[in-house]
Structure 1
Amino acid sequence: MTPDDNVMEELPSQKIYNEFEERGKSCRSSRTGTECNPQVIGKVKGALEVWNSSAWGKDEKVASAIVRNYYYVCMMNGNNPSDNTPCQLFYYWLGEKVRGGKKPAQSFGVVMNSIYTALKEFPPMIKYKGKCKNLYPKISDALFEYRKTLFDYHYDCKDEQGRPRSKEPSSCQKCKGLLQAAKDAYDELEEWCRTGGEEYCTGFRANYKGGTTQYPKPEKLECTPEALPKPTRPEKCKKDVPSQEVYCQFDDADEHSCDANSGAAGVISTLKHKLEQYNISGSYENNIVGAYCKASKMEKGSGSNSDGCNFFYYWLENVMRTVNELDKKFGTYMEGIYEKLEQLRVDKRCTNLYERKNNISWKIFKQMKRLFDYQKDKSTILSGVGEGDPCPVQYQTYLKNVKCAYQTIQKKCTGGENSGREWCTQFGKWHANYKNETELKFGCVLNNPAQCTQEESSSESHESVVQPNSATYPVGTSTPTAPIISSAVAGVGLPTIVAFLLYKVSKITTIIITR
């Protein structure tokens, strides 16, 4: 139901649900304190046994956990009787336990009623126990799940005014993973409660359709994915092809890659503010400045590395891919970054290859990067491969992605308003006869010729240059990973692997309701 907990910290509701689990473990039958009242535990255990003796009748752990947590939230609620949130959290925690333990044919609402009836056996000193009642006695388990999804979403993510509850990028990104489930839950409840008068429908309409606790309908949530810190690499990143070798050097760059009189420290500071303005998180300013200095020095060299400024331009994909809806902002953001980097004192300045007037979008940029990398890598990839031979198996995916990139740019640059753009001019330098060649030929034969759809040609997923037959070490980590779909540019390192992890979020399985 939630995004990958290994990537980001728990959201507030899950943290509290986990606390309920831990608190329940400390209540043992040997204790006779009020919070572990043996009479109440016995009543709750008896209620549970009626519904599922095999799951709930073997020991008192479940009953003890329910009793102690009920006591806890009732007493907590006493600190602020007008705030029923602790009781709501308990209700949804308990409901999840009931859903996981009751038999399929049993009524969720009836089981919950029997448990809450048993909890009334607490002595009168629990003065606020009346507040912690069964919120929706007649609700089904499917509708309960929708109610819980909406409750968790607003508790974790959005307040009554629709503002994010947390500005932390990791929390906000995790909430984006819950947004679709919240939308689906809202739509289901809205349809179900169109005419219904049950308590859960009354509560739904009060919360979302008016009343004193009105919440906005779950729609969009603005936040920036958190770019994780640059990973440490005990081993050097893989350098299977020339482009990857250069990108690996940029991955390792920092202010020490610049000369002492370059003014790197000051530029790092101003660039940091610019990246924050663009909602680019991850502290990339040091790495960017160092990579720029390295690129400048490469321009004085020879061979493939002498093209340092072009490599740097495309290496910036690593940073830019952390921004949401980038197509609308790409040109502006790139100009802003280069404007700050121009303050560095270096021998050879690197300039923004395609300024905004060239109208290069984020999607076009990514396809141009694939084609640029191919120009640097093709002699290595196709070395020793004869005409008509199978393309090297480890580069099959790489070449298919290049083929799709060619197809995309060829269509964009053949006639129309883009034909005069500088990126089309560059494309023509790489492929002089592109106007007459709709398909890129490698000389070798691909196992399964690429069928490029529009979605594939603008995909934001990237791949390792080498298509692995077994576990490999993608750039940016020394841990073996299973084969992943990637593009020619995953060798760039920094947040490439991060982007995969950050956006892998779980979805709530849609529950089909038979009315």
Structure 2
Amino acid sequence: MLPSDEMYAPFEGKSTCLGRSNGQDCNEILAENVKAALIPRGISDQNFAEKIVQNWYYACKKGKDSDPADSTLCYFLYFWIGKKIKEQKPDYEDFRNAMKAAYHHLNSSQCDNRCTNIYSDMSEVFFDWAKDLFDYYYNSKILTTQSANYTYSDRTKCDECQKKAQTAYEKLESMCDDNSTYCKEFKRKKQSKEYPEPKKLDCPGAPETEPENEEDEEEDEDVSCPLKLTDDSHHDAIPPEGGVLTNDHLDKLPSKLLYQKFEDRAGNNDCDDQNMNNVKTQLEGALKKHDFNDIDEEQIIYAWCYVTKAMKRCDALHEERLKFFYLWLGHTLFEKKDQINLFSDLMDEIKEELDKVEGGGDKCGLLCKNVNDKTAFDRRKLAYEYYTNYKRMEEQLAQYSKKCDNNYHTYLNDTYQAWEKERTECSGITTSGSYCAQFNTDCTKQEDKNLTQLTCIQEHRIGARETEEHEEGSSMGGGPVTVTPIISSVLGIGGGLASIALLLYKVNNYNYHRNHHHSTTITTTNTLKNI
């Protein structure tokens, strides 16, 4: 048992209030009030309400008796309550509201150890990461200062604790903004070295795990992953909670991050310079045979070098890297031509030339079979993006209460519609060697085997990014595009409503296609219905 487990253990014990209600820890009236506050949040367990009251008094009294300035137990209480709330609340209920309900009737003035709802604005997405990190740093501190009190026969629990903390640390580094209480604290403690990057815990008595051979050591080094898709400094931090999901959030999706690597020529340092010119020439020849004369061959080569030589096993989409390389490449080619005869043959020819710069990997194969037009290929691309980005989009929607702008709404809808169409058409098809058989197999590999339709509440607003683009995009003397005067003048003439709709459609359509080179709109968003 780790030190943190010992701290949670008293909270999990059986209630000691049976048959008595005279103590503060067994206050029936307070327990009823807590229960009444939780019922509208879909939680009606009377025992849970009683345990909250009992554990709250325990944390207050225990802390007060030892060190009034030490609020450690209050943190353990907070994370215990949060864990139980997550287990009991309905999926539709907001985690923050449920936590506020649990703490609402607990009179903080009677608790010298400040056992309040410590992070009242923390969303469910961040909660598990915050708990894993808190437990880790507590365990690290106790095992370092009180090692004589602990002995372990193996490292299993210690390594599991460190692994969870490492994941949490990386997620919080990439997703934390400056507006939430917890993120401010995390950044401050990280800056002051109070929260260093999680390392292996020192578990007294536990034997070190040695790699069996040199090959294992090489694999361990590979897993350390110095090159991480999600750690790119050129991607801005996610905007503050309480806003809406925008292009900035789409740019954080796994497929988008990988596409951006291709656009940025991230593999330019991993290609064999000696073969570069020759491969480029051969690639140009293969493309010209299919009437492509304005393709950036170097970009294709660098993208290939990135997925075959630069990516590490622990990078996002490592297992899917070749599939998304071909989806990106196919989309690039279909942007030039709506119809490509013998598309699969062309992709094989390109692969044959790319093999000459080393790296190696599978052909596009079934993904590129029996598809020669842009609409069909882009539908495959968007379908794969939906199930691959599903977990990340689900997290974003939970964090932002499902609020989104037009661009996010359109992408979410288009990818779902593409996935649903592919799933429907491929349903029940198991013929070996068919695209549908591969699609069905790929889908079942995902954690969520029964993906549902993700939706968001569309809010019409012009954010900082869109405003900036309006100003840059003016063709009238280079000045900013002023929307309000245009709308005002339109209202003064007949057919004003239709003109407004046309204007809004053009603005939205322009922003969407400018910012999402790799997204293909399958359905048309009717702006009029939202006016």
Q: How does the TM-score come out when normalised to structure 2?
A: 0.38
More helix by share: 2
Larger Cα Rg: Structure 1 or Structure 2? 1
